């Protein structure tokens, strides 16, 4: 679980370089991951989508393209990040804490969160809040980093903890923020553990799909 004051301050400092840094560090694969998410969500044909922890709006923008008839709302508790989302073309944005969202029960057909749940102060509470605002039968999708299994695990952990913060530090001047992010990936549940956590919050049919040898994973579930 994370310190919300530190998280908010860290993301505020890197807001203007956040997207570029992610593209460089992932060699562009984060773009492909978001496009995959867009295809999955489009298959659900939702009329309303809430993108929680939208940050600078990368996923919300992809969802607007993939689901042109849906109302897409991007929410985040970091105003600096959200300002970039609005400027970038996210149609509807709102400052909101994911642990206490200002939405009525059963408000959305689909809810997405990309690289955000991991940074929240209370994962079970955040998932329960997501379940609350989803309509019965609505869909949850989580995209986040995970640790690969097998022979790739060791080299990836070295990259994650030793290389990534240095490169990110050169780009953003905030290497400590990325040291923090590397630590959160190490702590974050994945695979069956994440599916169990999701279902404990009241969701059903939780499934995990590893991406790029398990460096990231997509989790889906039904409200």
What is the 3-state composition of the chain as percent helix, strand, coil, each rounded to the nearest 5? 55, 20, 25
The structure's pTM equals 0.89
What is the per-residue pLDDT for 22?
Answer: 63
Domain regions of the chain by residue span: 4-146+189-222
What is the per-residue pLDDT for 119?
Answer: 85
Q: Please provide the DSSP assignment of 70-108 as one string.
A: SEEEEEES-HHHHHHHHHHT-SEEEE--TTS-S--TT-E
CA–CA distance, 121 with 117 (Å, rounded to integer): 9
pLDDT tens digit sequence for 174-213: 656 666 677 788 889 999 999 999 999 999 999 999 999 8
Classify the C-alpha dihedral 177-183-186-189 as positive or negative: negative
Tell me if 95 sits within 8 A of 12, measured CB to CB.
no
Q: How, if at all, do strands 216-222 and 134-145 pair?
A: antiparallel
Place of tokens 């959200």: 82
Closest CA to 57 of 100, 7, 22: 22
Q: Judge: domain 4-146+189-222, CATH 3.40.50.150.
A: yes
Rounded to 5 degrees, what angle do the CA atoms 96, 102, 108 make? 100
Q: What is the mean pLDDT of residues 37-50?
A: 98
pLDDT tens digit sequence for 85-124: 999 999 999 999 999 999 999 999 999 999 889 889 899 9
């Amino acid at each position: 679980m994370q310190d919300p004051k530190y998280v908010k301050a860290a993301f505020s400092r890197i807001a203007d370089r956040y997207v570029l840094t992610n593209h460089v560090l992932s060699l562009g694969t984060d773009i492909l991951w978001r496009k995959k998410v867009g295809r999955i969500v489009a298959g659900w044909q939702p009329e309303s989508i809430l993108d929680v922890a939208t940050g600078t709006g990368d996923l919300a923008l992809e969802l607007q393209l993939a689901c042109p008839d849906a109302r897409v709302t991007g929410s985040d508790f970091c105003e600096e990040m959200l300002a970039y989302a609005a400027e970038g073309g996210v149609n509807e944005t709102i400052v909101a804490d994911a642990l206490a969202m200002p939405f009525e029960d059963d408000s959305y057909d689909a809810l997405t969160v990309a690289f955000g749940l991991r940074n929240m102060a209370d994962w079970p509470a955040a998932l329960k809040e997501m379940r609350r605002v989803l309509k019965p039968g609505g869909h949850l999708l989580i995209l986040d980093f995970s640790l690969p299994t097998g022979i790739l695990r060791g080299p990836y952990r070295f990259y994650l903890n030793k290389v990534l913060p240095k490169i990110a530090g050169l780009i953003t001047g905030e290497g400590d923020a990325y040291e923090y992010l590397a630590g959160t990936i190490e702590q974050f549940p994945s695979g069956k553990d994440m599916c169990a956590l999701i279902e404990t919050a009241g969701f059903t049919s939780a499934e995990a799909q590893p991406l790029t040898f398990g460096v990231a994973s997509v989790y889906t579930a039904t409200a």
